[in-house]
Amino acid sequence: MYSHYIILYIYGMRKCSQFESLKIIDVIEEEYSCELHAQDHFEIIYIHYGCGEHFFNEVTIPYEKGDLFLLAPGDRHYFTVKAVTRFTYIKFTSSYFETYDRSYKSFSREITPTSIMEIQWLKEDKITVSEPCQTILKNVFENIILYNSTLNVLRSSIVYYHILSIFGMIKEYIENRNIELKKKTPTNAHIAAYIQENISNRDCISINMIANNFNISPSYFSTYFKRNFEISYKKYIEKMQLQLIKRRLETGEIKLKEIADEFGFTDVSHLSKFFKRHEGLNPSAYKNIGK
């Protein structure tokens, strides 16, 4: 197996040349050694241990042990490492699978290894499988790394079928996720109604809670929301809270403390700072307008 320093050196050569249809890299990093860059090949990334964040295009996804990420040509990404992380990268071009075209029999025409790598929602999230697949996945990567020390890795059917088994698990993950999503596919109206109903309950409108309610991954929810509502989730919540607070103030009958309590602000001062940041004046001054 390569030494740690040799692995780092190889990884420093960012691009797979057109003659390299497959490259396996295993590396332990305290700090991520590459800047933001665009892909010119397909890439599967497995996290053996460690934690941090994965920046993919406009999405930020926290990562931890056992997570799997997919990248396709044109995608831009990098990692920030918070705890020492062991990464395994399987880099390949479309030509790699063309050599073993007959082995696609387990995949439908619509779902092939390379088409899987292009599924946007799948790339914008992390793939996390449960046991026993979690242990199987870890062992598959360890086997690939072990065999990578041989000189004929590009022609190895053993490595090929191990990589194909990774896609088999991903295919199963997609099928299970699609079943779950069909059970409760949210529309914008469903989400908006939920927010309106729970706007006064900070716990219910937390990203974790609302994402779980609509069966959307919490790490993907912010991207999903902005794509569908054309505004960030945070700004949407603040805008709705502001509208409701204005209505309370306009009645002239509700005390600031009651409004602060209703919308989960720690105190009147917290409410005033929030209101002034958006309206340029404090709630008391707004309340007196029109009197």
Radius of gyration of the chain (CA): 24
Q: Which amino acid is it at 215?
A: N
- Picking from 78, 77, 83, 44, the residue whose alpha carbon sits closest to that of residue 65 is 83
- Residue that terminates a domain, selected from 183, 198, 215: 183
Q: How confident is the model over 217-249, as pLDDT tens digits?
A: 787 788 888 888 889 999 999 998 888 888 888
First to last CA, the chain: 79
In this structure, are 28 and 142 located in the same domain? yes
Contact 255, 215 (CB under 8 A): no
pLDDT at residue 252, rounded to an integer: 76
Residues 25 and 163 in one domain: yes
| C-alpha 106: how far from chain center | 27
Structure-block tokens of residue 146: 């072990």
Q: What are phi and psi of 183, to 5 degrees?
A: -65, -35
Same domain? 162 vs 280: no
Per the structure, the complete domain to which residue 253 belongs is given by 234-288
pLDDT score recorded for residue 199: 86
| Three-state DSSP class for residue 35 | coil
pTM score, two decimals?
Answer: 0.62
Residues in the chain predicted with pLDDT less than 50, given as ranges, are 1-19
Question: Which uninterrupted H or E stretch holds 249?
Answer: helix 233-251
Q: Are residues 224 and 156 in the same domain?
A: no
Tell me, what's the pLDDT at 100? 60
Structure tokens, 130: 């449960």
Residues 155 and 209 in one domain: no
* Burial call 211-228: b when 16+ CB within 10 Å, e when fewer: bebbebbbbbbbbbbbee
User: Do 119 and 177 belong together in one domain?
Assistant: yes
What is the 8-class DSSP label of residue 196? H
Tell whether 151 and 31 lie within a shared domain.
yes
Residues 6+ away with beta carbon under 8 Å from 53: 60, 61, 62, 63, 79, 80, 82
Co-location of 199 and 112 in the same domain: no
Same structural domain, 117 and 215: no
Judgement on whether residues 19 and 129 belong to the same structural domain of the protein: yes
For residues 124 and 217, membership in a common domain is answered with: no
Q: Given the DSSP bridges, would you call strands 76-92 and 22-29 parallel, antiparallel or unpaired?
A: antiparallel
What local confidence, expressed as pLDDT, does residue 142 receive?
94
Indicate which CATH number applies to the domain containing 261.
Answer: 1.10.10.60
How many structural domains does the chain have?
3
Residues 147 and 280 in one domain: no
Nearest to 70 by CA among 137, 121, 117, 23: 117
Phi, psi of 87 (to 5 degrees): -105, 140
- In terms of Cβ atoms closer than 10 Å to its own Cβ (0-12, 13-18, 19+), residue 117 is buried
Cis peptide bond prior to 132, omega within 30° of 0: yes
Give the whole-angstrom CA distance, residue 124 versus residue 57.
Answer: 8
CATH number at residue 64: 2.60.120.280
pLDDT of residue 117: 84
d(CA 258, CA 248): 10
Cβ atoms of 85 and 49 within 8 Å: the answer is: yes
Of 163, 164, 57, the residue nearest 120 (C-alpha): 57
pLDDT computed for residue 11 by the predictor: 37
